[in-house]
Chains A and B, each alone.
Chain A
Amino acid sequence: GAVVSQHPSRVICKSGTSVKIECRSLDFQATTMFWYRQFPKQSLMLMATSNEGSKATYEQGVEKDKFLINHASLTLSTLTVTSAHPEDSSFYICSAEGGASSPLHFGNGTRLTVT
Chain B
Amino acid sequence: ILNVEQSPQSLHVQEGDSTNFTCSFPSSNFYALHWYRWETAKSPEALFVMTLNGDEKKKGRISATLNTKEGYSYLYIKGSQPEDSATYLCAFDPLDSGGYQKVTFGTGTKLQVIP
Q: Which residues of A come within 8 Å of B, CB atoms?
A: 4, 6, 9, 32, 34, 36, 41-46, 49, 93, 97-99, 101-109
Contacts and interface: CB of A to CB of B under 8 A. Distances in A.
Given A43-B4, A43-B106, A43-B108, A108 B43 contact: yes
Interface stretch (B12-20, B60-68, B69-77, B96-104): B96-104
A33 to B, nearest CB: 10
Contacts of B49: 98, 101-103
Given A102-B49, A108-B41, A43 B101 contact: no
B97 to A, nearest CB: 9
A103 B36 contact: yes
Interface string B75-115: 00000000000000101000000001111111110000000
Interface of B: 4, 32, 34, 36, 41-44, 46, 49, 51, 89, 91, 100-108
A105 to B, nearest CB: 8
Nearest to B99: A100
B107 A46 contact: no
